[in-house]
A and B are shown apart, each in its own frame.
Chain A
Amino acid sequence: MKKMLLVLVLGAGLLSGALLFAASNAQEKTAYDEDAYGPKAPIVWVKPVRSVIFEHKIHTMDAGLDCGSCHDSLFEMENGAAEKKDDFTMATLYKGGYCGSCHDGSAAFASNTRCTSCHIGARGHARLNSQGGTAVKSH
Chain B
Amino acid sequence: MPGVLIVAEHLQGELRDVTAELVSAGRQLSEQGGGRVVLAVLARDPDALAEAGRLDGVDEVVRVPVAEQEFNAEIVTAALAALIEAREPAVVLAGFTVNGMGFGAALALRAGLGFATDVVGCALERGQVVALRRFYGGKVEAELEFPQRNRVLLLLRPTIWPAAAPGGAAEVTTFDGAAPPPSVRTRHREFVAPPAGDVDITLADVVLAIGRGVGERDNIPRFASLADTLGATLAASRPLIDAGWMPAERQVGQSGKTVKPEVYLAFGVSGAVQHLAGMKASKTIVAVNSDPDAAIFDVADYGAVADVFAVAEELEKLL
Q: Specify whether A and B are partners.
A: no
Name A residues whose Cβ lies closer than 8 Å to a Cβ of B.
none
